[in-house]
């Protein structure tokens, strides 16, 4: 109801500038009357405390089948008792023809005793030549449902354990949930309206992340300058961006520790994916095999599967039959297999090899862990003893 045609009186009512507000009592055109009758908003006119007009929407809202069930009835029959006093107070502020109340919320009472939340605007006008109140009602059911949904979503956002941050298209923070406060040690009160880069303590361009696939692993900094390793997923919205930030500092710390441990082993370690490609190599594996990590992880796995291999009888092993290939094919682990290899420098080296699936619940097609140690000296000594035992 608020527009430039209305001004506020000191008593809280609103008056049309120099004009009388026309309502259903001033209908002069039948098509306009039909329009009001079928309006999606409820239209009611009451005079001397009784309803003298109700459009089809109001008749439906109160649960009546016919307008006659509403017309002539006391207005208070259709207002919840908790709302009657406030309705009468607003009506009392209307003193002149054309005065209008501000929009206010109330509760409509249906014939079956149920209720409907509405927003009402009342105008003092005329009906059949005598003063009457014209009321326009708006159903708030959808608004209430949307508000409840938004409150629920806001509660979820604040209760999750990942940082959820929303920004404008220009990168100003508009949402900073409880988890973001914990991860970045920065309260929402100071983060809101801050440029996202300043808020997370790092140069950060949400648009670039979206263009690059939507996810990035970054090092951010807390409000006191401490580094945090964060996996950030970014989604673009019409109003800006939403960032979901998972703190992976601890897991990456454990990962780095495990990597240092694996790299310090004297035993060679390879991780081979389901297609046979080497994805991870430790320094001992490079040293034992005589092949660089770069060569081992390059291509389709030929650097490993192309190495000539031999059984303990020095017979060549078919590339399809060595332990790595068999575990990849069957998912069956091998422990302590002894094989010989010819290194690129021409030296034959003997290895004790174990292969096992990394995912024990899904053995076939999963990546495998290959571990091996150099037992050349042991194997050569064993062969010499065997030779001596069988020769004079």
Residue range 118-168, pLDDT digits in tens: 999 999 998 888 999 999 998 887 777 666 665 665 565 566 678 899 999
pLDDT tens track for 270-295 = 888 888 888 888 999 999 999 888 88
Q: Under 8 Å CB-to-CB from 355, ≥6 apart: which residues? A: 323, 324, 326, 327, 333, 334, 337, 368, 369, 370
DSSP string, 303-314: HHHTS-EE-TT-
Q: Under 8 Å CB-to-CB from 383, ≥6 apart: which residues? A: none
Q: What is the pTM of this model?
A: 0.40
What is the structure's pLDDT at 134?
92
pLDDT top residue among 297 and 299 = 297
Q: What percent of the chain has pLDDT over 90?
A: 38
pLDDT top residue among 13 and 120 = 120
CB 221: neighbour CB atoms within 10 A? 14
What is the structure's pLDDT at 362?
58
pLDDT tens track for 175-197 = 999 889 999 999 999 999 999 99
- Cα 297 off chain centre by: 35
Structure tokens at 60: 């439906």
Rounded to whole angstroms, the Cα distance separating 201 from 314 reads 61
Average pLDDT over residues 224-235: 89
Query: Would you say 235 and 242 are in contact if contact means Cβ atoms under 8 Å apart?
Result: yes
Query: Would you say 46 and 33 are in contact if contact means Cβ atoms under 8 Å apart?
Result: no
């Amino acid at each position: 109801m608020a527009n430039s045609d209305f001004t506020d009186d000191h008593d809280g009512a609103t008056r049309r500038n120099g004009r009388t507000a026309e309502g259903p009592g001033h209908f002069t055109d039948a098509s306009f009357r039909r329009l009001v009758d079928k309006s999606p908003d409820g239209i009611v006119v009451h005079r001397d405390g009784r309803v003298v007009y109700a459009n089809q929407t109001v008749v439906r809202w109160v649960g009546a089948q016919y307008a006659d069930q509403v017309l002539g009835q006391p207005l208070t029959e259709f207002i919840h008792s908790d709302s009657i006093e406030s309705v009468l107070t607003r009506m009392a502020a209307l003193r002149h023809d054309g005065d209008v109340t501000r929009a206010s919320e109330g509760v409509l009472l249906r014939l079956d005793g149920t209720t409907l939340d509405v927003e009402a605007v009342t105008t003092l006008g005329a009906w059949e030549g005598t003063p009457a109140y014209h009321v326009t009602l708006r159903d708030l059911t959808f608004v209430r449902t949307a508000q409840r949904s938004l409150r629920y979503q806001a509660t979820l956002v604040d209760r999750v354990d990942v940082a959820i941050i929303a920004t404008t298209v220009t990168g100003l923070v508009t949402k900073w949930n409880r988890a973001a406060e914990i991860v970045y040690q920065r309260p929402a009160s100071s983060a809101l309206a801050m440029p996202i880069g300043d808020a997370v303590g790092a140069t950060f361009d949400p648009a670039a992340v979206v263009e690059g696939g939507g996810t990035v692993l970054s090092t951010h900094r807390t409000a006191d300058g401490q580094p945090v390793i964060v996996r950030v997923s970014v989604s673009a919205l019409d109003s800006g961006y939403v960032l979901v930030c998972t703190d992976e500092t601890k897991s990456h710390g454990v990962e780095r520790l495990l990597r240092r441990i694996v790299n310090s082993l004297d035993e060679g370690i390879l991780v081979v994916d389901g297609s046979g490609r080497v994805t991870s190599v430790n320094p001992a594996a490079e040293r034992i095999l005589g092949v660089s990590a770069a060569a081992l992880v390059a291509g389709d796995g030929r650097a490993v599967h192309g190495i000539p291999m031999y059984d303990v009888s020095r017979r060549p092993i078919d590339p399809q039959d060595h332990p790595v290939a068999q575990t990849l094919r069957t998912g069956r682990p091998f422990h302590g297999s002894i094989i010989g290899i010819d290194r690129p420098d021409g030296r034959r080296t003997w290895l004790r090899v174990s292969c096992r699936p990394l995912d024990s619940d899904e053995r076939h097609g999963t990546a495998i862990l290959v571990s091996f140690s150099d037992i050349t000296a042991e194997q050569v000594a064993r062969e010499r003893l065997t030779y001596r035992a069988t020769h004079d």
